[in-house]
Amino acid sequence: LNNPISDAELERRWRAVRAVMEKEKIDVLLMQNNNDHMGGYVRYFTDMPATNGYPNTVIFPADDEMTVVMQGPFNGDSRPPADVWRGVKRILTTPSYESAHYTQYYDPELAAKALAPYARGTIGLVGIYQMSFAMGDFLMKKFSGAKFVDASELVDRVKVIKSPEELELVKRCAEMQDGSMRAAFKAIKPGMRDTQVAAVAVHYSQDHGCENGIYLCASAPPGTPAKFSQRHMQNRTIKKGDVLALLVEQAGPGSMYTELGRSCVLGKVPQQMKEELEMVKEARKITLDMLKPGTPCKDVWETFNAFMRKHGRPEEARLYCHGQG
């Protein structure tokens, strides 16, 4: 495994979640993810990513090891290698594909096998926004005598408090992103396409522990708005004097995320950009000064928007300061 989470850390997570399950009288948790960009639950419990749009379903009992349902041959049923799938006693496989609608109940049928002992118990659903309708619909009909509850918040309250090991991984991710940004700006020159600049950042990141991520960028003449975008929209050729904005948002070792956005100018920096940079730095300081234990995220949001209004700038209307908690 690349940069595996330690056994001790995984066991700490399992103990913390099971303690809350016992308190809330939940017998088993069910979660499903299909990618490692937004696949935090499967990765958090198993240290194995869901990838490529293939659903990975995890059954996490309060009193037993986990069962995983994943893409593979029909009727697959095995005990996986203990040094790879830690805490997992059984992997069930079936060739299921979200783009092939007729396979929609293949995974739920296997999940039902693992959930059979809890047919009249309490089943906690984790991350229902990422769980397929087919999974929920099938299991709720199959186990009509069970009690289903949304356990997402229960798990999140455990997951959000980072251990020393997790904090160190967050720092390593941030350092990796600093390096990838420096590498991209060192390589940039007129004649390159936006996607080629992003590729430099990708290459550096993968060499330094990156597991996945997105690299958004866009170039434009000074004073021309340009919204950085995914690779499909990165075909513009950079010219002398252009401004390029680059966003590096990827997971580092252990699949911890940070995010870094910067702009560079291939020529003289306009005075307006210098002034706006100072405004950004001042807004950032206001936020950083508030990021202390006990501060409601809502207060940070409102303080930032009050600052923006005061200086005649548009308020944040989407997602500010991704890592607030």
In a structure prediction context, what are the per-residue pLDDT tens digits for the chain, which is 325 residues long?
A: 989 999 999 999 999 999 999 999 999 999 999 988 876 899 999 999 998 889 999 999 999 999 999 999 999 999 999 999 999 999 999 999 989 999 999 999 999 999 999 999 999 999 999 999 999 999 999 999 999 999 999 999 999 999 999 999 999 999 999 999 999 999 999 999 999 999 999 999 999 988 888 999 999 999 898 888 999 999 999 999 999 999 999 888 888 888 899 999 999 999 999 999 999 899 989 999 998 989 998 999 999 999 999 999 999 888 887 644 3
Q: To which residue do tokens 């929609």 refer?
A: 104
Determine the 3-state secondary structure of 151 from DSSP. Answer: coil
For the record, the structure tokens of 303 come out as 């303080």
Question: What is the per-residue burial (b if ≥16 Cβ within 10 Å, else e) of 208-247?
Answer: bbbbbbebbbbbbeeeeebebeeeeebebebeeebbbbbb
Q: To which residue do tokens 């918040």 refer?
A: 153
Of 147, 145, 54, whose CA–CA distance to 106 is shortest? 54
Q: To which residue do tokens 């001042």 refer?
A: 282
Q: What is the DSSP string of 123-141?
A: EEEE-TTTS-HHHHHHHHH
Report d(CA 4, CA 208) in Å as an integer: 14
Determine the 3-state secondary structure of 311 from DSSP. Answer: coil
Report d(CA 144, CA 276) in Å as an integer: 58
Q: To which residue do tokens 């700038």 refer?
A: 313
Task: Name 298's Cβ contacts closer than 8 Å, sequence gap at least 6.
Answer: none
- The distance of Cα 307 from the centroid of its chain, to the nearest Å, equals 29
What is the value of pTM for the model shown? Answer: 0.92
